[in-house]
Amino acid sequence: MRGGRHLPVPRPRRRRGDGLRPARRDRRRAALNVADGGPFRRYHATVAVLRGRRVVLRPLGPADFGAYAESRAANVEWLTRWEPKRLPGQPDPARSYDAFVARCSARQRERQLGTGYGFGIFLDGVFCGEMNLSGVQRGPFQSASIGYWVDHRAAGRGLCPESLVVVLRFAFEELALHRVLVAIVPRNHASRRVVEKVGVRCEGTAVGFLEIAGVWEDHLQFAMVAEEWVARAPELLRSWVDGAAADRTDPLAHPAVTG
């Protein structure tokens, strides 16, 4: 105050935008922070539903049992060859409503604890498969694994690569993880095509990595780290998530499932 007059309050200078909405800018900044070895860590996700160009990813609930059971039954021969054997006496959530509800509850507990995030893949409201971020490790690891499967009736339409990019964005920008792994049996060509389309780097082969259908199988290890995501996010989001829809039909495609 000078001579009875109030001095004008300086207005903060507006920063030029970077084309990102505030929430997305904050998440991208988090990924940059992790890539630089900074202290930022978000241990619990603040969103439950993820959206791509065409797909909607959300946790499954009891109301999804019918669609889940029908889809698994229609794909049982293809899926079981790439999945661990069920323990003797263990109920199948695709055949038992109670087992399915218990599975949904277990996934919800994982989400609450920040140790795993399971998503159903939906196209126009129709259940098409699953994309799961599991085994989240914090501390010096800051890592997780992704597994997925898609209904053979929805195969070859680019839904799995699109969903993978959506979950990678969630892992790096929402959870601020540093490393994400996808492990695939070498002869599972459909699943390999998914990571190859997205350009996830192959690190080599882990011998006897996982027991699949009763056999200890070698797995190719595909991985992406936060530095790679920061560098490639604009390209991946432009190709698979943002912008106008594109025809990504693959006439040679088989249903993808990791394992």
Q: Is 72 part of a structural domain of the chain?
A: yes
Q: Is 168 part of a structural domain of the chain?
A: yes
CATH code of the domain covering residue 173 = 3.40.630.30
Q: Is 14 part of a structural domain of the chain?
A: no
Are the beta carbons of 130 and 118 closer than 8 angstroms? Answer: yes
Q: Which of 22, 23, 52, 55 is nearest to 243 (CA)?
A: 52
Q: What digits encode the pLDDT tens for the residues 137-164? A: 999 999 999 999 999 999 989 999 999 9
Domain count, the chain: 1
How far apart CA 227 and CA 33 sit, in angstroms, is 10
Domain hosting residue 107, numbered range: 22-34+44-240
Q: What digits encode the pLDDT tens for the residues 32-67? A: 665 565 544 556 666 789 999 999 999 999 999 999
pLDDT given at position 244: 42
Q: Is 197 part of a structural domain of the chain?
A: yes
Q: Which residues pair with 206 in a beta bridge?
A: 219
- Cβ count within 10 A of residue 191: 27
Which pTM does this prediction carry?
Answer: 0.80
